[in-house]
Each structure stands twice: as structure tokens, then as C-alpha cells.
Structure 1
Amino acid sequence: MSQGKKSGVLLVNLGTPDAPTAPAIKRFLSEFLHDHRVVNLSRWLWCPLLHGVILPIRSPKVAKLYQTVWMEEGSPLLVYSQRQQQKLAQVVDMPVSLGMTYGNPSVFVGLQSLLEQGVEEVIVLPLYPQYSGTTTAAVSDALTRAYKKMPVLPHYKFVRDYYEHPLYIKALAESVRKHWQEHGQSDYLLCSYHGIPKRLADEGDIYPQHCERTTELLAQELGLDESKIGMSYQSRFGKEEWLKPYTDKTLEELPGKGVKSISIIAPAFSSDCLETLEEISEQCKETFIEAGGDNFTYIPCLNDDDLHIEMMADIVGNV
């Protein structure tokens, strides 16, 4: 942090629909899936497919899924992100605001909130431990768009990743230990990361290397060898090949290899959301049990856990 300038923190997450309804989901998915960082196909091909087929079909289905995880205060991702914002502000003793790459509150709104509090230097912390062009770089793009609307640009520092930060690994490990103390230790720990198309990794995206390193460090911290811990990728979309191994296929295979009890954690997600609370906790459990597994437990994201907030404070304080 620079001496003499008032600093503030902008936490950025992906975003979430405003309501668990088909129209709100359609608005959110339209913004999200229009981003070239997320889908870098020709607009001539993609836009008719998106608006003519995908949004009309997916929006009502996704709305029903959101209704199963929606919290009293709102969308889980927004609720946990707001709690992170509030707790971090208490620890770092500087303004902390929240922005979303897609949906509300926007990155522009988050920046405006800091500037209105007299902040001259913004520390931008995307809540993605592992870098990917589809997520972290999209935050940078949103920041640039927000800056275009401002007469005076604040100084800013951008945190690119924290996939091997000691406090991040410690927080993950402690969440696993705590879960096992409460539910019993399973035969196997599966680290499930959000997938990206393999094509993007082939073009140079470093995301898979970051995921592999996080898994390696977590295994070391927990003292687990490769017979007790593994990694996979979830949430693939469309027909092209994504990063492998796939989470659902892995869960189908593990019981046949003698793994009857499994715990699954999602290290790429800083907050619980639809992908963790519905896809992993419900769909993946069903897949594993149907394949012959006996016991499946989901280890929640770090959310507003004290160690997670301590990690954020350390990153902010040393950027």
C-alpha cells in the first residue's frame, strides 16, 4: 500500500441473479454468456444460439435450481460475499466494498462506493484463488469498463491469484479437518474445480497448473498421499472437450476402485453458490451413491470463515 494515500479494498466475485425467477436468470445469463472471456466463439454463431435456444430453455430450469438454494437474505453467493466484505472491513480498518463482474452490485458501483469514502488507491481482490482468463481477466475487463466512466482514475493494485498462499492452504486444510471431526474421515478427498474448455488451456490459460498446485499443497498440509486425495473438474457446458478428469465421471469410477466413502471440496470457489450447493452437494452425491458409494459429504466453501478473512487481510496488507 502506498504511503499517504487513503486505501480501500474492492472484493470482486462473479455475480448472481437478482431473484430465483426465469426473467432474472435470463438477464444474468445473457450478460454472463455474452462475455468473450467466457465464450469466445464467433458472435454470428453464438448469439442466435444463445438467444434462440439456450436462454429460453435454460432460464426456467436454472430458476428452479436456484429456488432450492436461495437463502432468506438472498442468493448464497451474494450473502456470503457481503459477509466477507463486512468482516474484512472490521479487520483491515479501511473501506471495503463489493462488486460483481456480472449482475449487481456492479464493479462500477463498488468502485463508486470507495471513491465516495475518499479512497485514492483501490486494492482489487478478485475472489478467484486460481487465475483464469475466464474469471480473473474478466474482472480486469470490468474494471476497465468502469474506469471509462470516471473523470479521474484512482490508483489501483490488482491481485492476480492466491492459489498457493500459505493462509489459503491453511484455511482449506482446517475446513477439511473440522469437517472430518464432525462427520468422520472419509476414504478419499476429492478437490473439484470449476472447469474451462480444454481449448483455452491449450491456448495458454494457466488455470489447470494453479489447480494442480493447490491440490498438491493441500495434500501436503493434510498429510495425504495420492491414494487418499485427487482432483477433477465440474460444470462443463456444451459439446467441446473441457479439462479432465470430469467430476461426475470420477465419482462414477471411484466406487469400483474400492472408494466407498468420499468427501468433496471446491477450492476454486470462495463462496458457496449454485454450483456447490446444488451441483456438488446434490447431483454429485446422487451420482456417487448410484455408482455404489456408501457415504458422500460436501465440505462447504471457506465463505466468511475467520481464517479466510485472515488470509484476505494478509493479501491486502502486503500487496
Structure 2
Amino acid sequence: MEFELRSLLVFRHLAGCGSFSETAKHWGISQPAVSLTISKLESAIGLVLFERSPTGAKLTADGHAFMPRADEVCQCYAGLIDGLRTWNRRETKEVLLACDGTSIGRTLIADLAAGRVPNLSTKVVTCDLQDRWGAALETNRFDLALSGRFLRAGLDSNIQEAVLLRERGITVAWNPTFHSFDTHQFSFPEILKSTVLLPSVKVVAGFYEFFLRWCHEAYGTQPAHTMAFDTEEAAASACKAGLGVMLAPGDLIPRLGDEARHYESVRTFEFLLPQAFTYGIYCRAEEASKDVLATAAAISSHLARRGLLAR
């Protein structure tokens, strides 16, 4: 009995999503290649693992029975790879930092590249924040995450958080050349007739989902159209060009810096959502590396000195 380890990874993903096309996209291969991989795995182990249909695939009884073994192997493999990655970073005194798409995160990346962050005893390597950054942090994909979260999104017992900033409510901003909302008698449902520009999970966890649920439960409707952006700069550029109305948690305008002059804005729901937006730096709950913890402290101090956390 011989099969490639990757076939187990493909099997596990297909079992989770039930979609050949989504699995193909995730692994960067064609849909026929996914089907062939599963067929070869089934032939090797002598079991039919999936019931195929035009709408996708679901596990057979044998597939359910096989899943725990496959999952165990995949987890061991992932643990080995992640462990080697972590060991290599420790040996080279590197700390891998995932930064979000806020202006704070973008500024920190620039400061690190220019050597403007003092008191660092390690080499900090930056990368973009992933959609499921909590899981990626837990499995050692990176050592630290700098991110915003809305309400309780992103919180996990396996992750510890150092809060850098908390803010109230939501900011609504627009270019007055293209929109004429009244800042003194602002009506939130009015913006739902426009395209709404929202931060993705790579900017702030939980906000996009909260906004859509809020619209449904509070107003019984959804916005005419939404666009998600992976950086606040990209959302601000789209808003400046008149493509829609920008929403963001907390006090967005100071984060826009000089660009703020192009927009009118209102702060709303401050009473209903006190301290709903939290900005922090995250690491694993059981993190024992002095290099990682010292790097987190140095970054926090630098952001405070730069005035990026003062509101």
C-alpha cells in the first residue's frame, strides 16, 4: 500500500469543505487533479471515501472511519514542519511578525525595514496577516501577530493578548464630492443604499461579519453592495475615488493622517459599542521564548513613542 502524504492533506480538506473546486483552489491544482488524487488514495487503501454528486462530495461511512487516522498523520506532519520552522527561527534569532492592514501595521513594517525600532535583540521578519491568523499563530506559522479585533473575535484560550488600544463605536467616512450625507442629522440606514467599503479580516477580525448581521437584525436589510479591503489605505483610496462609503471600527480618522482632509465623517454607536475595537499584539499562550516576548515589548513601546496609540 503506497500513497503520497499530500493525498491525505487533500482528502482532509475535501472532507471539510465538500467542494472539489474549493479544494483545488486551496492547493493550487486543477479540479481533475483533486479527483485523481482522491481516486488514487481510495485505490491504495481499498476504500470508497466519498459519495460524489453534482453539488460536491460527502464522506461515506468508510470515509468517516478513515478520517481520524488521516487527521492524526496530517497533524503530526504539520507539527513536525512547524516545529522545524520554529527551531530554525530560534537558531537564527529571528522573530516572525504578522502585521495587519491598518495604518499602524503598515507604519510598523516601514519602521522595521528602516531600522527605526530600538531595543530589538532579534531580527524581525514581517509577513502579511492571514485570514485565520489565530490558528496560524497557534501552529507556529509566525511568532507574533499585530492586529485589531472587533468585540470578542479572535480571542482564544491558546493565545495571549497585550492590549495596545481600545476605542468606541464605528466611524463612517465619505468623500463629500460624491456623497452628501448630513453630519448633524446622520441616518445610518441611508448609507446602506450605497456601496459600503469594509475592512477584511486581515485588517480587523470580526467586523465584516458583525456589520452584515447588524444590518439584518437592526434594519431588516443588507447594503446594496459591499467591498472588502485588506488594508485601510486601499479602502481609503476607494472612498476618495467615490466608489463608496467607508466603515471602520473605532476612531478611523486619526489613523488616516493627512489623508483625512479628503473626507467627511461621523462617529456612531459609541454608546452601544463601548470599547468594541481592540488593537493588540498576540502570541501563543504558552510562549516561553525570551526573544519573542522581548520583541513584543519593544514593538509596543515603539508604537507608543510614535504616538500611534494615543487617542
* Pairwise TM-score range, normalised by the shorter structure: under 0.3
The alignment's TM-score, normalised by the length of structure 1, stands at: 0.25
Greater C-alpha radius of gyration: 2
TM-score, normalising length from structure 2? Answer: 0.26
Higher fraction of helix? 1
Whose strand fraction is larger, Structure 1's or Structure 2's? 2
